[in-house]
Amino acid sequence: MPADHPDPPAGPGPDTRTEVRTPAPPCPDGLGLGPVARALYAYAVDRYSFTAEEAAAALGRDLAGVRTAVGELTSAYLLQPAPGPAAGRRWSAVAPRAAAARALAPLTRRVRETQDEMDRLRGALEELVPQYEAGAAQRDLTRSGHLELVTDLAAVRGVIAELAESCEHELLTSQPGGGRPQSALEEAIGRDEAMLARGVRIRTIYQHTARYSRPTAAYVERVTALGAQVRTLGDGLMRMLVFDRHTGVMGVRDVGGAALVVREANVVHFMAGAFERSWVGAEPFPVSVGPDLARTISEELRRTIVRLLSEGMEDKVIARRLGMSQRTCQRHIAEIMRAVGATSRFQAGYLLHTALTSPQHPPPDEP
């Protein structure tokens, strides 16, 4: 029994002392209070102090159950010994917020210690950066760190987060493949808002099909309100990010979740130049797509499908290039085949190639 809770005077009769349990942090899934403990707490908040015997009589509960409930409430920091001298053990209720402060104190201290340890570890690793960069300057391109292949998706996200955090002036992004997944947008929004808040200029290019993605449109509306610029293009995008025209991150062909981190100045310059060429031909991303705009986009997509079909590309390749589902792509191709009177993809490709290469035979209009 703790020293700050004196025993009651000795005397005849049953032992009325209440066992005081060592306070323990609340259960992860809640306080874990039983019905007797909750009833006892409701009883306690209505009076200045009470004994277990008084509570048992008032609540119509057995004394052993009330004593167990006292232990539960003291473990949750919701009961404390009543101040002042008393003939017996008396208890008083503690406000939930005060109990929370006591219960969370060890966790808060642990979080602070963990953060301090993270800062120490980060500082120790940062001390090695100059040594690494000095050594990198002595190596050739593929072994110098100028080109770094990262094949783990979590590691790629970590690299992007680090680069975004240190970005000071400009971020260029091109994202082929239509609308982006909700999870990717949720991850990007906080990072992009933080960059925009500190004055970083953000320009992004999507494919036209991204305009029909509600999550993507909502994301675009949110970031453009903060100053970002977003445009769309039909085809010809490479997946990449360029930070301050100093470091680039580009997708790796046929390797999902992988990325190539580029720090070689000439390659980054090429990536930024490719982005600028795409940006000139791209169109502003509207947060709502009206009938006239939808018709214009549909016609541009159709012309692109005609061109790719005439080159002999397969349905799934065309769909991937344009950021649409294979079923939607096949529907467009079927309409094009009907328009040119083709009965097979081979025949359609031949007729379309002839139409595209002959000024006298332009591609057919939408049926």
Looking at per-residue confidence, does 219 or 288 come out higher?
219
User: Residue with structure tokens 């992007």?
Assistant: 160
pLDDT of 229 reads: 95
pLDDT of 168 reads: 94
Q: Phi and psi dihedrals of 209, rounded to 5?
A: -65, -20
Domains parsed from the chain with CATH numbers: 1-106 (1.10.10.10), 146-284 (3.30.870.10), 291-357 (1.10.10.10)
Instruction: Say if residue 141's pLDDT is above 70.
Output: no
Contacts of 245 (CB under 8 A, 6+ apart): 170, 172, 268, 269, 272
pLDDT (tens digit per residue) in 54-66: 889 989 999 999 9
- Minimum mean pLDDT range among 71-85, 127-141, 278-292: 127-141
pLDDT of 287 reads: 65
pLDDT (tens digit per residue) in 85-110: 664 588 988 988 888 888 888 888 89
pLDDT of 194 reads: 93
Instruction: Say if residue 5's pLDDT is above 50.
Output: no
Beta-bridge partner residues of 147: 262
What whole-number distance in Å separates Cα of residue 234 and Cα of residue 176?
A: 9
pLDDT of 47 reads: 87
Looking at per-residue confidence, does 170 or 101 come out higher?
170
The mean pLDDT value for 70-88 works out to 81
pLDDT (tens digit per residue) in 256-277: 788 999 999 999 999 999 999 9
Q: At what angle do helices 35-44 and 63-75 cross, to 10 degrees?
A: 80
User: Residue with structure tokens 């159950």?
Assistant: 65
Instruction: Say if residue 8's pLDDT is above 50.
Output: no
pLDDT band at 356 (very low <50, low <70, confident <90, very high): low
What whole-number distance in Å separates Cα of residue 250 and Cα of residue 263?
A: 11
Longest CA–CA span in the chain (Å) reads: 118
Amino acid letter, 211: R
* Mean pLDDT estimate for the chain: 79
Listed ranges 18-27, 133-142, 187-196, 334-343; the one with the highest mean pLDDT: 187-196
Locate 333 and state its tokens: 């191709």
pLDDT of 298 reads: 66
pLDDT of 279 reads: 94
pLDDT of 101 reads: 85
- What pTM, to 2 d.p., does this model score? 0.48
Pairing mode of beta strands 147-150, 91-93: unpaired
pLDDT of 14 reads: 43
What whole-number distance in Å separates Cα of residue 84 and Cα of residue 270?
A: 79
Listed ranges 159-168, 232-241, 305-314, 342-351; the one with the highest mean pLDDT: 159-168
